[in-house]
Amino acid sequence: MAQREIIILPDKHLRLVSKAIDKVTPEIRKLAEDMFETMYAAPGIGLAAIQVAQPLRLITMDLAKPDENGETERKPRVFINPEILAKSEEMSVYEEGCLSIPEYYEEIERPARVRVRFTDLEGQVHEEDAEGLYATCIQHEIDHLNGARPRDRCRLYPRGKTRRAPRAYTAADAGGAGGTAAEHPGFHAEDAEDGRRARRVSRA
Ligand SMILES: [Zn+2]
């Protein structure tokens, strides 16, 4: 495995629409391995191939949470040619970060649940219902495959108004709403209890 360089704005590659993968070749497996190494090192919870300058419809993700000892058993997942088949009308808001936009965090509203179809590294096709962080992360990454950046999705606030540096997650935050963000290493959260729902920050 080898780490690859994560491209950042204003790199024009981030505007490309990634191409479907016809066949899971050794090169695709190698790319996925490298993406995991790159993603874990960042650290991030998700990565699209275009973020390492490969315009292919391939996503890596790991949403594993640490156990009570703070140990995290990795749960790497690969999504090839992922598609959103259905979206809930209900929306949810996460404060998202992006590995391709350093120091950029913004509240983004997306469907709370989505049905997703994808192929795994063995060539098997799956359909799953995603909710919570999974739903947010897969939508964030599919945006990357389609050449969109997270800020394109921001509907709650005018661009630039919510830009701020994140602070580290504290124990006090964990008592807020769910504490999910605290359970992810490398995450930050702000205003975990704001009377509506947790606003969480992840980088993907
Ligand atoms: Zn991103």
Domain residue spans of the chain: 12-203
pLDDT tens-digit map of 76-122: 999 999 999 999 999 999 889 999 988 888 888 999 999 999 999 99
Across residues 149-171, what is the average pLDDT? Answer: 48
pLDDT tens-digit map of 106-116: 888 999 999 99
Strand partners, 61: 46, 77
90 labelled catalytic: no
The one catalytic residue in 95, 96, 106, 141 is 141
Report the pLDDT value the prediction gives residue 79, as an integer from 0 to 100.
98
Cβ neighbours around 48 below 10 Å, total: 29
pTM above 0.75, yes or no: yes
Going from the Cα of 51 to the center of ligand 1, the distance in angstroms, rounded, reads 8
The sheet that has 113-119: what strands, in order across it?
Answer: 46-48, 58-61, 77-87, 113-119, 125-131
Which residue, chain included where needed, has tokens 């890596």? Answer: 60
Going from the Cα of 143 to the center of ligand 1, the distance in angstroms, rounded, reads 8
Going from the Cα of 85 to the center of ligand 1, the distance in angstroms, rounded, reads 21
Would strands 91-98 and 200-203 be described as parallel, antiparallel, or unpaired? parallel
For residue 37, is pLDDT > 60? yes
Going from the Cα of 28 to the center of ligand 1, the distance in angstroms, rounded, reads 20
Residues whose CB is under 5 A from ligand 1 (ion)? 98, 204
CATH class of 12-203: alpha beta
Across residues 26-51, what is the average pLDDT? Answer: 97
Going from the Cα of 181 to the center of ligand 1, the distance in angstroms, rounded, reads 17
Across residues 9-27, what is the average pLDDT? Answer: 94
Question: Between vectors from CA 78 to CA 75 and to CA 82, what angle results, nearest 5°?
Answer: 135
